[in-house]
Amino acid sequence: MVTKIKIPTSLNEITLEQYQYLMKIQDKDDSEDVAARKMIAVLCMIPMSDVMRIEFKSITEILEKFNTMFSVKCELINRFKLAGTEFGFIPHLETISFGEYIDIEKYMSDWETMNNAMAVLFRPITKHKGFKYDIEPYYTSATYSEVMKAMPLDVALGANVFFWNLGNELLSGLTCFLQKEAMMIPEISAKLNSSDKDGDGIRAFMRLRKETLKDSMQLPHYHLLNV
């Protein structure tokens, strides 16, 4: 019987790399008990064989704790320390470069490359004064992609939530603007109808971001364990 395991008490105690691995080994055909075994093994950092030796009562308690942790609303965390270095979220999004935007969009759509996305969004702080700070210039996500695997999961999820909300607001604003323009100028209506396909890429990306975020905030199913 397993006598001692370290159970994380908050998302801050789980790394992005752990969560990426959990998402990678998930299978939609997994039974609830297999999904639970994978989750406990990855988040508690123990072999799956050891999970089978844990008391059933303890298993349900662990899963309840995980459910509580992942039910917490994730807010954007602008700064965090990792291996002695303080990283900061891009302080001025209005001046984001085209290269940064393209890389964020590309890497944030898949959990396997989420560490690359985080390497774009968070970079070492070079100077700061009060709440204001500057970060290193962006060259490539490869500079800090490996480092970001060790970042706290709550920071990564908070950035995900922030960008999904931001993108959703921008898309909603664009839709409202186009609708108002169409009503004010009837001639534009035909053009809007013909440009539906032009917006398919944006809408498809936002649907994917919404699905990714929804999946990221839910634990693998384990209701057979009566948690």
81, 87 Cβ separation under 8 angstroms = yes
Q: Mean pLDDT, the chain, as a whole number?
A: 81
pTM, full prediction: 0.76
From residue 187, give the alpha-carbon distance in Å to each of 12, 164, 181, 182, 191.
54, 33, 10, 8, 7
Helix (H, G, I), strand (E, B) or coil at 69: helix
Output 87 or 189, whichever has higher pLDDT. Answer: 87
> Smallest Cα–Cα separation from 227: which of 32, 49, 19, 13?
32
Q: What is the spatial distance between Cα 132 and Cα 117, in angstroms, rounded to a whole number? A: 22
* Confidence label for 148 from pLDDT (cuts 50, 70 and 90): very high
| Model pLDDT, residue 162 | 87
Rg over CA atoms, the chain:
21
3-state secondary structure 164-195: HHHHHHHHHHHHHHHHHHHHHCHHHHHHHHHC
| Model pLDDT, residue 50 | 93
| Model pLDDT, residue 209 | 56
Output 177 or 149, whichever has higher pLDDT. Answer: 149
Confidence check: pLDDT of 81 > 80: yes
Output 219 or 70, whichever has higher pLDDT. Answer: 70
Q: What is the spatial distance between Cα 154 and Cα 158, in angstroms, rounded to a whole number? A: 6
| Model pLDDT, residue 93 | 82
Strands 132-135 and 85-89: unpaired
Q: What is the spatial distance between Cα 95 and Cα 116, in angstroms, rounded to a whole number? A: 20
67, 227 Cβ separation under 8 angstroms = yes
Chain centroid to Cα 151, Å, comes to 12
Continuous segment of H or E residues that includes residue 111: none
From residue 142, give the alpha-carbon distance in Å to each of 35, 147, 153.
32, 9, 19
- Model confidence over 162-214: pLDDT tens digits? 887 775 555 444 445 444 544 555 554 555 455 555 555 555 555 655 565 55
**How long a stretch of residues is the chain?**
227
Helix (H, G, I), strand (E, B) or coil at 134: strand
Confidence check: pLDDT of 222 > 50: no
Contacts of 189 (CB under 8 A, 6+ apart): 182
| Model pLDDT, residue 10 | 94
Position 21, amino acid? Y
